Amino acid sequence: MTVLLLVCFKIFDFDRDGVFCRSEVTQLIESLKQLAVDQFPEDESDCDSLEVSDIIKNEMESVDLETFLMWAVNGSSLKHLLDMLHQVKDFVFCEVAFFFLIYLCLFF
């Protein structure tokens, strides 16, 4: 799960500075809400109450990786996004394994 959370952090850390600024947190929240509406309408209420202030708790209005991980582990807001990332990871792994097998068959 930690690896998927790190991937999620990297996806939404648009400027790659290692922290989420207010706009990156806002984008994360909007994405989670849209994902809930589009893919999981029965669970939409899980993300309805999610606000920027739930994640950003300091005067710098930023979130470092440690704070993000603590928020993610303590809440269920990222559940659907992590499920989708897990499916993508499984798909990519299968594709890589398939091409590796083809490579082995062709060259060995």
Q: How many CB atoms lie within 10 A of CB 25?
A: 23
Rounded to two decimals, the pTM is 0.65
- Per-residue model confidence (pLDDT) at position 108: 60
pLDDT value at position 7? 80
Q: Is the pLDDT of residue 10 over 60?
A: yes
Nearest to 49 by CA among 9, 77, 78, 79: 77
Q: Which of 83, 13, 9, 5 is nearest to 46 (CA)?
A: 83
Q: How far is CA 6 from CA 3, 11, 66, 103, in A?
A: 5, 9, 10, 31
DSSP state of 20: E
pLDDT of residue 43: 60
**Domain residue spans of the chain:** 2-107
Instruction: Judge contact between 77 and 46, C-beta under 8 A.
Output: yes
Q: What is the pLDDT of residues 19-74, one digit of tens each?
A: 999 899 888 888 877 877 777 666 655 556 667 777 777 777 888 999 888 888 77
2-107 is a CATH 3.10.620.30 domain:
no
Q: So what's the pLDDT on residue 18?
A: 92
- pLDDT tens-digit map of 71-87: 887 776 777 677 766 67
Structure tokens at 16: 């790659």
What's the distance, CA 64 to chain centroid? Answer: 15
Task: List, in sequence order, every beta strand (DSSP E) within 1-108.
Answer: 19-21, 62-64
